[in-house]
Amino acid sequence: MNSEKDKQEQEEKAKMEETKQGGEANVEQQEELLEEESHTAQENEELAKLQEELDKEKDKYLRMYSEYENFRRRTAREKLDLIKTANESIFKALLPIVDDFERAEASFEGDADKETMKEGFALIMNKLNDTLKREGMELIEVKAGDDFDTETQEAITQIPAPSPELKGKIVDVVEKGYKIGDKVIRYAKVVIGA
């Protein structure tokens, strides 16, 4: 009986050991679960922060894109307005000259001598040239005997040179050339000696 009792005691001890070990294992499992849960909670917090930052950046991007689109539309509209009104100041400056031509035309109806008419047209021409100069337009200086320059001149024809020194040079200027700043707006039309 003693041995049965010993056996029972040993079985009870073994069960207690198992329970103890099982309890320790259970505690370890619970600790691991708690640790995993805390890691998951931290990861969720980090994920939430990242999502919040991403949302902020998306919002910034959308606002900047909207601002850029508004800027682009505004500048396009301003450019169109500028193009429409760009010549306004030139036209206003030319109006007095048009008035002078109308007065000169009206004066032809009477008996005006040619010298007076010539002086009147010379005054109007000077006024027109001064106005164009003031607005930035310059005459391209070209005269017979000058070298031909493709940057500012256009050869409309080539004729036999009247003298050997005019060979390959300008013989005659048919139409004057003009430029605004460095940009040629009309090339001088010239005849070249061959």
Q: State whether 55 and 96 are in the same domain.
A: no
pLDDT for 145-190, tens place per residue? 889 988 999 999 999 888 888 888 999 999 888 888 888 888 999 9
Predicted confidence at residue 2, as pLDDT, reads 60
Residue-level pLDDT, tens digit, the chain, 194 residues: 566 777 777 777 766 665 555 555 566 777 777 777 777 878 888 999 999 999 999 999 999 999 999 999 999 999 988 877 777 777 777 778 877 877 777 776 666 677 777 788 888 888 888 888 887 888 889 988 889 988 999 999 999 888 888 888 999 999 888 888 888 888 999 999 88
Predicted confidence at residue 99, as pLDDT, reads 79
Predicted confidence at residue 15, as pLDDT, reads 66
Question: Residue 165 gets which letter from DSSP?
Answer: G
For the domain that residue 155 is a member of, what is the CATH number? 2.30.22.10
Predicted confidence at residue 111, as pLDDT, reads 60
Q: State whether 4 and 81 are in the same domain.
A: yes
> 143, 130, 132: which is closest to 188 by C-alpha?
143
Predicted confidence at residue 52, as pLDDT, reads 94
Distance CA 160, CA 166 (A): 9
Q: State whether 126 and 147 are in the same domain.
A: no
Starting from the edge strand earliest in sequence, which strands make up the sheet with 137-140, in order?
137-140, 177-180, 183-186
Quote the pTM value.
0.49
Q: State whether 64 and 2 are in the same domain.
A: yes
Token pair of 174 as six digits: 């048919």
Predicted confidence at residue 17, as pLDDT, reads 62
Find the domain containing 161 and state its range: 138-194
Domain count, the chain: 3
End-of-domain residue from the set 56, 86, 116: 86
Q: State whether 1 and 40 are in the same domain.
A: yes
The SS3 assignment for 177 reads strand
Q: State whether 159 and 96 are in the same domain.
A: no
Q: State whether 80 and 13 are in the same domain.
A: yes
Q: State whether 4 and 64 are in the same domain.
A: yes
Distance CA 26, CA 154 (A): 101
Predicted confidence at residue 18, as pLDDT, reads 59
Task: Write the CA distances from 8 to 16, 22, 55, integer angstroms.
Answer: 12, 20, 68
Q: State whether 73 and 100 are in the same domain.
A: no
Predicted confidence at residue 26, as pLDDT, reads 67
Long-range own/partner contacts, residues 85-89 (CB < 8 A, 24 or more apart): 89/135
Q: State whether 61 and 98 are in the same domain.
A: no
Q: State whether 128 and 143 are in the same domain.
A: no
Q: State whether 13 and 69 are in the same domain.
A: yes
